[in-house]
Amino acid sequence: MLPNYELKCVKCGYFMEADPWNILCSKCGGLLEPVIVKKPLGVSWPLFRARKFSVWRYKELLPKVRSPVTMGEGGTPLIRLGDDLWLKFEGVNPTGSFKDRGMTVAISLARERGAKNVICASTGNTAASMAAYASRAGLRSFVVLPRGKVARGKLAQAILHGAVIIEVDGPFDVALDAVMMAAGREIGLYPLNSFNPWRLEGQKTLAYEIADELGVPDWIVLPIGNAGNISAIWKGFTELKNFGLINRLPKLAGIQAAGAAPIAKAFKDGRDMPYFTDQPETLATAIRIGRPVNWPKAFKALRESRGVTEVVTDEEISEAHRSLGRMGIGVEPASAASFAGYLKLKGAEIGDDEKVVLIATGHALKDPDAIPHVETVRVSGAEEVASALRRMIL
Ligand code: AN7
C-alpha cells in the first residue's frame, strides 16, 4: 500500500486502497485519481532545488518506491521562443517523449508489486517508452499497435527494446479496448496506458518543472490524444496550489487535429462530453485517437482552468512543424500541433501580453517520414563540391 495516498473514483466518488494494481473503480469502472492525503512535511522549493532537475526531484509528491527504475527522465529544457513564449522540449527525454515521466513511476511500482509482464496500446511513444523501461526493470513487454499507423522511429524503438509486438486492424482505440480486456492481476499483466493513474502521477511533474523554473504562466498549450497528459498537468498545478507552493493556476489550451478532435470540437461547442469517432485520421499519428479514455478528467481540467480547445488542420500542423524546424527545434507532428494551435489562439483567447508555455511532447526523429523530401545538391567529387558551394554563396 502506498503511504499518504488514497484513490478516488472521479465518476462515483468511491474510495479505494492506494494499490498500484487498483487501476479502475471496482464499483463503477470509472477512472481513479490518486489523492495525496496530506502535504508531506518539509516540502518546499528549496528542498526540491537541492536535487537534480528531474522527475524524482519531487519525490515527496510521488508514490514512494524503494528503487526507482530511472534513466534521468524529466529536467527538460524550457526554450524561449519569444518575449512571453516558451517551449518545454519533452523530446529530449531518454526515449524521446514525455511518456518517460510516467513510465519511471509506473514501471517502478509494477515491478515492486510483483508484475512480470507489462502491456500497452499505443500510437507509438507509449510503446517505445514502456519497452525501454520494462527491459531495464527486467519485465517482459507487450505492445498493441494500430497496424501501419505507427511512426517509423517509434516502432524501431519498440523492437530495439525487445517488446513483443501485436498489431491490430483499426485505430489506437481498438488496441486500447484489447488491453483493457486482457490486462489484470490474475495473469500478472500490468497495463501502462494512461487510464492507469499511477503513470499520470509521473507525468504531473511537467507542471512541477514549469512552476519550478518559470513560475506559473498564463497558458499551457498542449496536444490532446488520449487526454492523459492534460489531466496530469492539471493535477500537478492544482496540487502545488493546494500545498501553498504556487498562488495561482494557469489556463489550459488543448489542441487536436481536425480529423481526430472528439474533445476539442465538443468543448468548443460547450458540450459536456466528446464527439467520439471510430475513424480518427491525421498525419499526426501520435494523436490519431477517436475515443480518448481520459475525457472526464480532461473536461474537468479544461473547465476548472477556464481553458479552451482549438482544432488544427494537418496543413497547419505541417506548417508549424516546418517553422519550428527553422527555429532549430525538431519535434514530431503531434507536438507541432501545440504551436499551430497557439498561432490560432493568439490575439483572440490568448492575449498578446500573456505568458505562454507550449508543450513539445516528442522528438522529430520519432517520425522521419513526416519530414518532406527536398532536392539535394548532387555532385561527384570534392572539386565539384567546392565549385557548387562557390556558386551558391557568392
Ligand atoms: C508526441 O503513445 O497515446 O493526450 O499511445 O505521443 O496524454 O494521450 C501518445 C500520445 C501528444 C497525446 N504528443 O497525449 C501513445 C499515445 C505525443 C504523443 C500525445 C501523444 P495524451
pLDDT tens digits for range 256-267:
999 999 999 999
Examine the domain organization and report whether 309 and 219 are in the same domain.
yes
Asked, for residue 163, whether it belongs to a domain, the answer is: no
Q: 359: Cβ below 6 Å to ligand 1?
A: no
Name the nearest CA neighbour of 113 among 60, 180, 65, 73.
65
Q: What CATH number is associated with residue 302?
A: 3.40.50.1100
Look up cell 488496441; give the residue.
175
Are residues 235 and 321 both part of a single domain? yes
53 CA from centroid of ligand 1 (Å): 23
Looking at ligand 1, which residue's alpha carbon is closest to its atom 18? Answer: 286
- For residue 22, give the amino acid letter: N
**Do 91 and 3 share a structural domain?**
no
Give the C-alpha separation, 204 to 375, whole Å.
Answer: 43
| Residue 144 resides in a domain | no
pLDDT tens digits, 25-57: 999 999 999 999 999 999 999 999 999 999 999
Q: Residue 170 has what pLDDT?
A: 97
Give the model's pLDDT for residue 76.
98
Q: How far is the CA of 225 from the centre of ligand 1 (A)?
A: 5
| 181 within a domain of the structure (yes/no) | no
- Does 317 contact ligand 1 (Cβ within 6 A)? no
Domain housing 21: 1-38
Tell me if 152 is assigned to some domain. no
124 lines ligand 1 (CB under 6 A): yes
How many domains does the chain divide into?
2
Residues 203 and 288 in one domain: yes
| 82 and 14 housed in the same domain | no
Residue 170 included in any domain: no
Nearest CA to ligand 1 atom 16: 123
Q: How many residues does the chain have?
A: 394
Q: Which residue has the cell 476548472?
A: 304
Q: Are residues 266 and 323 in the same domain?
A: yes
- The CB of 361 under 6 Å from ligand 1? The reply is yes
Distance 173 CA to ligand 1 centre (A): 13
Does 375 reside within a domain? no
Cβ-in-10-Å burial (0-12, 13-18, 19+) of 248 comes to exposed
Residue 216 lies in a domain: yes
Is 24 part of a structural domain of the chain? yes
Candidates 133, 226, 366: which one to mutate for ligand 1, based on the most atoms within 8 Å of Cβ? 226
Q: Is 332 in the pocket of ligand 1 (CB under 6 A)?
A: yes
363 within 8 A of 331, measured Cβ to Cβ? yes
Amino acid identity, position 294: N
Which of 262, 101, 130 has its CA nearest to residue 193? 130
pLDDT at 236: 98
Ligand 1 atom nearest to 127, measured from its CA: 2
The parts of the chain modelled with pLDDT lower than 50 are: none
pLDDT on residue 1:
86
**Distance between Cα 44 and ligand 1 center (Å):** 31
Q: Coil, strand, or helix at residue 362?
A: strand
